[in-house]
Chains A and B, each alone.
Chain A
Amino acid sequence: MAAPAFLRRHLAFLAFSIFILSAPLFTGNIYYLSILAFMATRLMITLGLNLLMGQAGQISLGHAAFAGIGAYGSAIMTTRWNMDPWLAMLLSAAFAAAIAGLIGVPTLKLKGHYLAMATLGFGEIVHILLVQLKWLTNGTDGIGGIPSLAIGSIDFGEPQMFHWLVWGVVLIMLRISLNLVDSRVGRSLRALHRAEVAAMSLGVNTSFRKVQVLMVSAVFASIAGSFYVHYVHYVSPVSYTLTFSVILVTTVVIGGLGNVWGAVWGSVLMMLLPEYLKRYNQDYTLLVFGVMLILIMIFLPGGLVSFKTLVAKMRERLGGARTASATGPGPTGGS
């Protein structure tokens, strides 16, 4: 009895896990695997950002910078200080969390979108530092020769192995995000998003929870940055700009707020669509991309995850129309 209920509850997660983890068995194509690897690191960031935006209702325009902290932290600590990559990843994530806390404590006490403004400034500062602190970051030349990840004799420099590693981490992040949403903490975040005063009056320490979810999302982004540089073995400041932060926010909105799976579908679309459009005339790529985003926002304001409700609504409308025409016009026709 317990097994079917468990299956039903976790069907989407299990199906997605099996699908994505079995992908390398069907294709050894490095190009496809690399798109999937980039998609995985993108997804790590958007999962955290989805929690922050969808649950707590706070916008960050600095998530590229949190990813940058992970990327540069790993790059610097492994190439210059010969540190163990896993330890470097951990320290970078801790640093990102600390910075997120420093930004969050003063701004999240206030109501309104102060966090968006503060993170916007923070993102710019980080970008400037990455370019200007040449002694540390090598400026616009970037840092190369970043080692692959490994555990003992298992080398994750091999594309298929990296696929399993990075998607394994994504699946863990997805699982714990889903768990969080369906918990006391998740409910308190949604509550403070809808009516902060009411949430406070029910005992929720709202500023603490907001800072905490910002820190969690910064850690996700930082880990994504670390995995990314261990995959491409190189880092430069061009990846960590406001443009990237805006793309991340767009991805989360397109995918759908208020549902963790929104981050998944948003990231899949935002990675595959430009990749697909690249085959055609480069000049039209951006145009087509922009139009698609506008269409999604018009017809799926709840994001890609709301597709099911849209289909249900259409079916209802069509079904209603059919009954109406069958019974002829009349006051009861539409029901």
Chain B
Amino acid sequence: MALLRVENVTKRFGGLEALKDVSFSLHEGQVKALIGPNGAGKTTLFNLVSGIDRPTSGHVFFRDEDLGRLTPHAASRLGVGRTFQHSKVFDDMSVLDNVKVGRYGRSHAGVFSAFLTLPRHRREEKAISEASLRALRRVGLGDRAHESAGNLPVGDRHLLEIARSLASEPTVLLLDEPAAGLNNEETAQLAEIVRRVRDDGVTILLVEHDMGFVMDISDEVVVLDYGKKIAEGPPLMIRNDEEVIKAYLGEDI
């Protein structure tokens, strides 16, 4: 059975139909890309899948759970992690502390045990630090743990968001334009990291404009145009799909 099912999802903002009857599914272990021109509804869809927004009609199922009825933090605890198109790094915290926030849903200390720094709390803090460092090493930021996150260059900020989300041990990881602003070398490095994360058993859904990157790492591609799904299939098929070419106005994809 599919891990994530988007079923006949429509999303209206006032008079604007951002998504029209979109359906697709994501299978365990897949890397699936969501592409389409600006305003096609990609980020809207991400917001529905991560519980930030609710569909006007239709459903998004994660296993048997209806994500349309969950809050973002509940979706996260269920195993849906995400990064953001416009970096949402906690700038004035250290790189490591950013990732530690990602361990929130996997730890338990409440306000009283924090007040008193009970031994149980100290043990948990140690475990949080270790898991966070591991997550940072997975994206190659291990040696920048103690820097201020605000000082990281754009590419590393994407990686930090990935590490932060990985720390929450997601089953599905949503990456919103992870290659934006990266040079070729950095993009290749990112592709390597995404593959490694997938090999570790994390299913990935990503939105991306860098077609080289998309075709390189995706098992399947879904194409949205004006909120409608116009194509779905393996990269090779998408590359030659007439409607897709038309939507991109002949851009080379």
For B106, what are the chain A residues with a Cβ–Cβ distance below 8 Å?
Answer: 203
Q: B135 to chain A: closest CB distance in Å?
A: 12
20 pairs of residues in contact across A and B, judged by CB atoms under 8 Å:
A176-B116, A179-B117, A184-B104, A184-B128, A186-B114, A187-B100, A187-B101, A188-B104, A190-B90, A195-B90, A198-B88, A198-B90, A202-B101, A202-B104, A202-B105, A203-B102, A203-B104, A203-B168, A205-B71, A212-B111
Instruction: Mark contacts of A256-298 with chain B using CB atoms, 8 A cut-off: 1 yes-contact digit, 0 otherwise.
Output: 0010000000000000000000000000000000000000000
Residues of A within 8 A of B (CB-CB), count? 27
For A188, what are the chain B residues with a Cβ–Cβ distance below 8 Å?
Answer: 101, 104
Q: Report yes or no: A201 in contact with B72, Cβ–Cβ below 8 A.
A: yes
Q: How far is the CA of A232 from the CA of B104 in the complex (A)?
A: 44
Chain A binder among B19-27, B75-83, B188-196, B209-217? B75-83
Closest to B101 in A: A191
Interchain CB contact (< 8 A) of A194 among B90, B105, B124? B90
Q: Report yes or no: A203 in contact with B73, Cβ–Cβ below 8 A.
A: yes
Interchain CB contact (< 8 A) of B107 among A184, A190, A206, A213? A184
Question: Is A116's CB within 8 Å of the partner chain B?
Answer: no
Instruction: Mark contacts of B47-59 with chain A using CB atoms, 8 A cut-off: 1 yes-contact digit, 0 otherwise.
Output: 0001010000000
Question: Is A324's CB within 8 Å of the partner chain B?
Answer: no
Q: Would you call the interface of chain B mostly helix, strand, loop, or mixed?
A: helix
Q: B13 to chain A: closest CB distance in Å?
A: 17
Residues of A bordering B, CB below 8 Å: 176, 179-180, 183-188, 190-191, 194-195, 197-206, 212-213, 216, 258
Q: How far is the CA of A234 from the CA of B161 in the complex (A)?
A: 55
Give residues of chain B (84-106) contacting chain A, Cβ–Cβ below 8 Å: 84, 88-93, 97-98, 100-106
Q: How far is the CA of A202 from the CA of B193 in the complex (A)?
A: 20
Interchain CB contact (< 8 A) of B52 among A183, A185, A191, A197? A197
For A204, what are the chain B residues with a Cβ–Cβ distance below 8 Å?
Answer: 73, 101, 104-105
Give residues of chain B (157-191) contacting chain A, Cβ–Cβ below 8 Å: 161, 164-165, 168
For A198, what are the chain B residues with a Cβ–Cβ distance below 8 Å?
Answer: 84, 88-90, 161
For A201, what are the chain B residues with a Cβ–Cβ distance below 8 Å?
Answer: 50, 52, 72-73, 75-76, 81-82, 84, 165
Q: B98 to chain A: closest CB distance in Å?
A: 8
Q: List 8 tightest A-B contacts by C-beta distance, closest first.
A: A203-B105, A183-B114, A198-B88, A200-B72, A176-B115, A203-B76, A195-B88, A194-B90
Interchain CB contact (< 8 A) of A184 among B92, B124, B161? B124
Closest to A203 in B: B105
